[in-house]
A and B are shown apart, each in its own frame.
Chain A
Amino acid sequence: EDKVVQSPLSLVVHEGDTVTLNCSYEVTNFRSLLWYKQEKKAPTFLFMLTSSGIEKKSGRLSSILDKKELFSILNITATQTGDSAVYLCAVENYGGSQGNLIFGKGTKLSVKP
């Protein structure tokens, strides 16, 4: 069965710390891996990764994909309280519906002042 596993499930850090969130996957027909940030309501898009070894970067956030080892990491440097959220990893399964996303349970990040 296709699955996406995120770790840790929950993380508490202090402002200024750097965090690494992990996402591993087993999906039959991989097409892309996406990271979303969910604060109160709607998950908001962060990154889409399709190729191994190419880092995507947006401000203090960066992500990279390893298609050989089937995982991705999301790094957040110099964390701020506004980074507190649930970070969702999803893998696009091309075998079924185009764009059928398989989600992990998420990592809840809490950044303390």
Chain B
Amino acid sequence: EAGVTQFPSHSVIEKGQTVTLRCDPISGHDNLYWYRRVMGKEIKFLLHFVKESKQDESGMPNNRFLAERTGGTYSTLKVQPAELEDSGVYFCASSQDSWYIQYFGAGTRLSVL
């Protein structure tokens, strides 16, 4: 069974540009989460999808971040325009049910120059 996959593994962009991160959860997992770790800090929750619906987006830092999960399968996280402080590792996780274990992807390292 394939795990959670994220693409790209690393993205380097300039300030002001747009970047889109993608997450493919484990097949059959309705719950999809986005997290972010900036350097020196702990991993922080961004948002939670249940199927295609946003269950909780309280962790999204500002309106430059837009997450979608059309059709309830893969999800994208777009940052537009990117700022220097957006640099970090963006993790995606999925779980079968909100009670179950979250399985994490390898993360996308975003570097904003």
Interface string of B83-105 (1 = CB under 8 A from A): 00000000100010011011111
Chain A residues near B (Cβ < 8 Å): 4, 34, 36, 40-45, 48, 88, 90, 96-106
Subset of 22 A-B contacts with CB under 8 Å: A4-B42, A42-B4, A42-B91, A42-B104, A42-B106, A43-B104, A45-B101, A48-B101, A88-B43, A90-B43, A96-B58, A97-B47, A98-B48, A98-B55, A98-B98, A99-B48, A100-B48, A101-B33, A101-B35, A101-B102, A102-B45, A106-B42
* Distance in angstroms between the alpha carbons of A90 and B95 in the assembled complex: 15
Known contacts A48-B101, A104-B42; is-contact A99 B31 (Cβ 8 Å):
yes
Known contacts A99-B33, A99-B48, A101-B45; is-contact A43 B58 (Cβ 8 Å):
no
The answer to whether the Cβ of B44 comes within 8 Å of any Cβ in the partner chain is yes
The answer to whether A100 touches B107 (Cβ under 8 A) is: no
Chain B residues near A (Cβ < 8 Å): 3-4, 31, 33, 35, 41-45, 47-48, 55-56, 58-59, 91, 95, 98-99, 101-107
* Distance in angstroms between the alpha carbons of A102 and B45 in the assembled complex: 7
* Distance in angstroms between the alpha carbons of A96 and B48 in the assembled complex: 10
* Distance in angstroms between the alpha carbons of A99 and B97 in the assembled complex: 9
Minimal Cβ-Cβ distance residue in B for A43: B104
Q: Which residues of A contact B56 (CB under 8 A)?
A: 96-97, 100
